[in-house]
Amino acid sequence: MRESGILMHITSLPGPYGIGTMGKQAFAFVDFLKKAGQKYWQILPLTPTGYGDSPYQSCSTFAGNHYLIDLDTLIEEGLLLREEVECIRWEDQEEKVNFGILYNNRLDVLRRAYGRFQPGAEFETFCQENSGWLPDFALFMALKEKYQGKPWYQWEDGLKYRNVDAVWQARQELKSEIRFYCFVQFIFFKQWKALRDYARANGISIIGDVPIYVPYDSSDVWSNPDLFQLDEQLNPIAVAGCPPDAFSEDGQLWGNPLYRWDLLEKEDYSWWINRLAAAGELYDVVRMDHFRGFEAYWSVPFGDATARNGQWMKGPGLPFIRKVQKSLPELRLIAEDLGFLTQEVLDLRDESNLPGMKVLGFAFDSREPSDYLPHTYTRNSVCYTGTHDNMTMRQWFETAGEDAVAYAKEYMRLNQEEGLVWGVIRTAVSSVSDLCVILMQDLLNLGAESRMNFPGTLTDANWTWRAKEGFTGNGLAERLYELMKLYGRLGDK
């Protein structure tokens, strides 16, 4: 079945409170997707943002991002007063998220809502159903607050090493704060369920991301240190990254602790199965980030300043993927197979029968392999105009070399009358890939100012782009629908 979708994170939606939320604008975007003949909405991880405001550096693989909670919904439910929300200056630029403002104000507003909250059976059921991760996460957040944001490995030894008595004492001492963080998660998942149910009712499936790694300072590592490559003092032995390549002579040093895959295997990969099962509750399709890391991963000695001295280490490979597929047979997966790929990685993807990613933004760059050109695609793939990690197509046309641009124009038969970027979208939609995903910034023909992320950097440009109010207007849905109809992507069997 040939289908199509749009990639746009919820944070990029317009709205009055500094960041896109799971409120009216999100429901309206579902309406736009349906009208435009789309079947998928692809988003980034819904987990709390972390280091560098990245949704890929979250303090929990299970929790939801409280910034996405819609405040107008809480006002309608009587948990907030409008003046409590509107008295705060939530943004300094309409089209850019200011995470500093959110960090300083969002939880305080939610505490006001918690003060009016009357827990009932629904709340208690939520806590029971999420008892595998919620108690540790809520305690972790309460302790982070007590220790003024210090990472868990700088807490007192009793808590750092999770001494039973110390943890019990902390649960008693911080009972109220723990309850508050459980409330925040309850509200998040309640709002997300309402949005996802609405999407499903309108024939829209959600594609979500599961990052391969978790940060060192996370509830996951603190709660399960044995699953990670840590020494007796709980310091990382080696950390994750990418080797040097044409884009970075030092490689990329991500710094995440690496897994003890041997121990995970002995436990039937139960932690990963639980993680992906939770993702399956959030999303209809899961994109497995950095898929090549399951075949082999770049291991960098802890303490190194760059990723240069790393080495390839074997990952869990096909037995892990098979275990996931057997344990979660209904879970649909996409392999994020970008970057340096060996034949072993390609074999793992193909033997797993997972669709890989084909990014048109890479097709005409001499530094990337030529299998991004559409005539090399197979049906079992996902064609993207671009992703959150690379420049928009308009920026590419404005900055790429003359030869590359000329080649792209010739290959895709581009012209100014149609529009260069729209011609790229047409090329993606007309490809043989079963699924096509269009970056929202490309659909809006936006340039460098709208790029979502610059990998390997820490800037206030990352993760902050927001669309203008009314961004789906001017006949965009109708034009996109006609393109879907022309190339058979309306989901008809």
DSSP element (H, E) containing 455: none
Which residues fall within 8 angstroms of residue 264, CB to CB, at 6 or more apart?
227, 271, 272, 316
**DSSP type of residue 284:** S
Tell me whether residue 84 is one of the annotated catalytic residues: no
Catalytic, out of 84, 177, 389, 434: 389
Tell me whether residue 289 is one of the annotated catalytic residues: yes
Catalytic, out of 289, 295, 365, 442: 289
What's the burial of 492, exposed, middle or buried (CB within 10 Å: 0-12/13-18/19+)?
Answer: exposed
What is the number of H-type helices and E-type strands within the chain?
Answer: 19, 12
Q: What is the DSSP string of 297-365?
A: EEEEETT-SSSTT-EEEE--HHHHHHHHHHH-TT-EEEE---SS--HHHHHHHHHTT--EEEEGGGTT-
Cα–Cα distance for residue pair 177/114, rounded to 1 Å: 11
Catalytic, out of 217, 220, 284, 336: 336
What's the burial of 89, exposed, middle or buried (CB within 10 Å: 0-12/13-18/19+)?
Answer: exposed
Residue type for position 408: A
Structure tokens at 61: 């693989």
Q: What is the DSSP string of 142-155?
A: HHHHHTTT--GGGS
Using CA atoms of 226, 318, 56, 189 in order, give the dihedral in degrees to the nearest 10: -90
Tell me whether residue 76 is one of the annotated catalytic residues: no
Catalytic residue annotation: 289, 336, 389
